[in-house]
Structure formats: C-alpha cells, structure tokens
Chains A and B, each alone.
Chain A
C-alpha cells in the first residue's frame, strides 16, 4: 500500500517533468539553410539581418553597401523567419510561400533550405 502511494507520487512527478507540454525548436543535425538577397533601405549599412527559429538565432549579418547579403546557418525543426530590426514595406522572393508577418517586422519562410530575395524594401 505504502509503495503504491510512493509510486503515485513518482508518476505524478514524472508527468510534471515530461517535456510534451512545451514543444520547442531543436537543431536538426546535418541540415543547413541559406538565404541571399538585396535590401533597399535609407540606412542600409546599419541594417542588422537575423535569421531566427523559435528563440534560436541561426545566423546574422550586415548587408554590403549595395544592399546585398548572404546568410547561412544550421537547420532547425521549427519554421524560420528573417528579421531586419525595422518594418518591411514589400519584398520579392524567388521561392513562393514567403509571407510577411502581421506586424510587418519579419518575413516568415516556408520549409525549404534555399531562399533568394530579389529585393526587400524597408520602411524609412
């Protein structure tokens, strides 16, 4: 009886410790993602481009003076997005299904490994 009581405690503790309640992105080994493109902004040299998945910063860079950038990093299990630290006015992507987030701060990428943006226009 006593052992049964103990078991019930252990089981409930195990249930509380189980990670199923919060699914988070993990790195997926042997997987890479690459993004390239051109940013058009009044303050191009100060733009910080970040590739993010969940709370993982995959990669970051600054564009060249002409606005072009290349960004590569490890793959993850969750969806990824591009962030520029400021609002995005419009963009043109070679790959379909890239979406602007509701607050216009990020470009949400579909599940692919290569992306090219012919232009990304940032709000002044």
Chain B
C-alpha cells in the first residue's frame, strides 16, 4: 500500500511538472577560475546577472537556454596583461533532467555547451581585447517552491565550465594555462512557470 502511495505521489509530481511546461528565470551569478589557469590567478571573481528559459520535451527531460553577464577586475597584471574591466558573456544550451525529490523540492541535472567571451577594455585602444570559445558544462540545480500552486521557485545551482579558447602558445604548459581554463559558476535565482 505504502509503495502505491509513493508511486502515486511521484506520478502526480511529474503530472504537475508537465502541466507547467515552460519556465522563465532571473538570476544573480558568480564565476571564478578553478585550479591553475589565467582566470583563477589573473582575475577576481566575476559577478553579474543572468536569465534563462526551460521547456520540458518528454516526461522529465527538457531543454534549457541561459544567458549570463559577469564583471570583474584584473587581480594580477603579469598574468592577465595590462587590461581593464574584463566582462564575461555566456550563452548556453543544455539538456536537463528534472527529478521531483519532494512536493516542494526539485533537483535538475544539466549537461550542455556554452559560448563564453571575455572582453576587456584598454587604456591604449578603443576596441579593447577579447578572447573566448566553446565550453562543455555540467551542473546541478536545486529548486524550492515558494507558492501553493508550485508556479514560483527559488533556485540555487553550481555549474562547471570546461572552456577551450582559440588561444595558442608555443609551449604546452602555458598553452594549457591560457587556453583551457575551468570555471566554477554559482547561480541564485527565481523561476516562474508560465
């Protein structure tokens, strides 16, 4: 009997999730370099904002699109160069799996790709300097319902980005240092089901 009750609860959860197919998110974000690379040693933590949409395609599987913009300062000129006000723009697409843990709590797993660009201003040229490339991303999102109808959720999410920029240096160690940084992102936000 207990088994059936649990099964019923899970089914009704996924039915609820299907009712609310599309969602919109507003986020506060941070990014920092992880390990030894030019972002972790040359730059401070990026902080900024983001927005996203998700849609369920089949049962608990769906797609998500996100846009992030973060700002920081140069921490070490000898690593990053004499550049000013670096900002990071991320545009990503990911597949998601939504698991309703309890009536109020949902856990989502994300796997996807992102385009990341770091643009910096310069005292010497108007156009400044930019670098970036494609990243592979892995993330988890915890969502907690704020309303009785489960239409508004608060969310928290860590994500890892394995970035590959187009930069190349004629030395394997420093090539990896400048072209293959790993970034750790934290997101805090609100999700509204439409």
Interface residues of A (CB under 8 A from B): 26-27, 29-34, 55-61, 69-74, 112-114
Q: Quick check: A73 and B128 within 8 Å, CB to CB?
A: no
Please, how many angstroms separate the alpha-carbon atoms of A33 and B174 in the complex? 9
Query: A108: shortest Cβ distance to chain B, in Å?
Result: 18
Partner of B83, one of A26, A29, A31, A74: A74
Interface residues of B (CB under 8 A from A): 38, 42, 77-83, 120, 122-125, 127-133, 165-171, 174, 178-179
Please, how many angstroms separate the alpha-carbon atoms of A61 and B124 in the complex? 18
Q: Quick check: B171 and A30 within 8 Å, CB to CB?
A: no
Q: Quick check: A74 and B81 within 8 Å, CB to CB?
A: yes
16 A–B contacts from the bound complex (CB under 8 Å): A27-B129, A30-B133, A30-B166, A31-B131, A32-B38, A32-B131, A32-B178, A32-B179, A33-B169, A56-B124, A58-B82, A61-B77, A61-B78, A70-B78, A73-B82, A113-B168
Given contacts A26-B125, A72-B174, contact A32 B169 (CB under 8 A): yes
Q: List chain A residues, Cβ under 8 A from B174.
A: 34, 72, 114
Q: List chain A residues, Cβ under 8 A from B127.
A: 26-27
Partner of B167, one of A30, A59, A71: A30
Q: Quick check: B122 and A27 within 8 Å, CB to CB?
A: yes
Query: A52: shortest Cβ distance to chain B, in Å?
Result: 10
Secondary structure dominating the interface of A: strand
Q: List chain A residues, Cβ under 8 A from B166.
A: 30
Q: List chain A residues, Cβ under 8 A from B124.
A: 55-57
With both beta carbons as reference points, the residue of chain A lying nearest to B83 in the complex is identified as A74
- A33-B169, A74-B83 given. 16 additional CB < 8 A pairs? A31-B167, A34-B178, A56-B124, A56-B125, A57-B82, A57-B123, A58-B82, A59-B81, A59-B82, A72-B38, A72-B79, A72-B81, A72-B174, A74-B129, A113-B168, A114-B171
